[in-house]
A and B are shown apart, each in its own frame.
Chain A
Amino acid sequence: MVLRLKGNEGKPVAYQVRILTEYCKGCELCVAVCPKGALEMSDELTDLGVRPACPKADAECTGCTLCYQVCPDAAIEIWETAEA
């Protein structure tokens, strides 16, 4: 998890991308578009028999949402973690 300073608030936040594997069809568009290379294809098969995308273990997600924009199955969620 990489903490970044967010805008004017100055609080450290971290972003995390989550893949909803029940919707993912393994088209790999998100893997191709991620500027940080934070996604990869999983080795486990879903019930459709496809390898879904999954975040890398040491993923450096910046919350740019490009993967969300290109996903044809709305299978991506971007989560924000902030210190309370």
Chain B
Amino acid sequence: MTQAAMKLGRPKALLDNRTHYCPGCGHGVVHRILAEIIDEWDIRDSCIGMAPVGCAVLAYQYLDIDMCEAAHGRTPEVAAGVKRARPDKLVFSYQGDGDLAAIGTNEIVHVANRGEPISVIFINNAVYGMTGGQMAPTTVPGQKTTTSPKGRSITGEGYPLRVCELLATLEQPAYIERCVIGTPNKIRRTKNAIKKSFRVQRDLKAFSLVEVLSPCPTYWRVPPTKAAEYIETYMEEIFPPGIIKDTTK
């Protein structure tokens, strides 16, 4: 007699909707990681997420938690407001690079500078995914996008913005790490980083940010199976993964 039991499956905090993301997109992996952490900590009723404007604009259709939608780039400020109103809740802001590093640069800098006790998950895929793959501030030099068909040039468009290093110069942020969605090992490290960021918020009441270098096979014009290699070759040199700032020790 044999018994079959499910060892691993879809986390309960993930709704039964099929995501609208392209095949191989890193958003789905980060959603799953978030749902797993929410399940493990059993915080589905005490966790509030902020959906950005960008590819992840419909994140509230996929995560079974309370979520708010903010104006483009204003996600961290809204998260800070929610956290001030409901300090007992775990509040995270989920943002892409167009939302956080372009239109919302002002907001993220001031929220980090005030040390608002929120967790920011910053998905960096080096292009504007939702609007059709235009150049973002985080686009790596030489990368071809629909608005830089000859590749991003340093003289014309400048260097990519390193948000983690920028925010690490401020006094208040307690924990800033850059992770990668690529090999299973790196994905596990990303999960640990997001977990630590939540812990920093819960225990230390401090600001933390996790940047995730996430694949966008569609607008990098590579097959999903080559996206991890793409990140390693082109992105990790500009955006070195690792802990950028950690004052929790």
Contacts and interface: CB of A to CB of B under 8 A. Distances in A.
Among A50, A68, A74, which residue has the most Cβ atoms of chain B within 10 A? Answer: A74
Contacts of B1: 83-84
Interface string B51-85: 00000000000000000000000000000000000
Looking at chain B's contact residues, the main secondary structure is mixed
A32 B8 CA distance: 20
B27 A72 contact: yes
Given A78-B9, A81-B4, A69 B18 contact: no
Contacts of B28: 71-74
Nearest to B17: A23
B224 A29 contact: yes
A32 B184 CA distance: 12
**A interface, size bucket:** 20 to 34
Nearest to A20: B10
A39 to B, nearest CB: 12
B23 to A, nearest CB: 4
Given A20-B10, A78-B6, A26 B184 contact: no
A69 B25 CA distance: 13
Among B3, B8, B25, B217, which residue has the most Cβ atoms of chain A within 10 A? Answer: B8
Contact of A26 (B19, B21, B23, B25): B23
Interface residues of B, number: 34
A79 B188 contact: no
Among A16, A23, A71, which residue has the most Cβ atoms of chain B within 10 A? Answer: A23
A71 B18 CA distance: 13
Contacts of B3: 81-84
A33 interface: yes
Given A20-B10, A27-B24, A29-B224, A72 B2 contact: no
B2 A83 contact: yes
A65 B11 contact: no
Interface in B135-193: 183-184, 187-188
A74 B14 contact: yes
Contact of B32 (A63, A74, A80): A74
Contacts of B19: 23, 72-73
Interface in A21-78: 22-23, 25-29, 32-33, 50, 63, 65-66, 68-74, 76-78
A52 to B, nearest CB: 11
Contact of A73 (B5, B11, B18, B35): B18
5 contacts: A23-B18, A29-B224, A65-B8, A70-B187, A80-B4
Interface of B: 1-11, 14, 18-19, 21-29, 31-32, 35, 183-184, 187-188, 217, 223-225
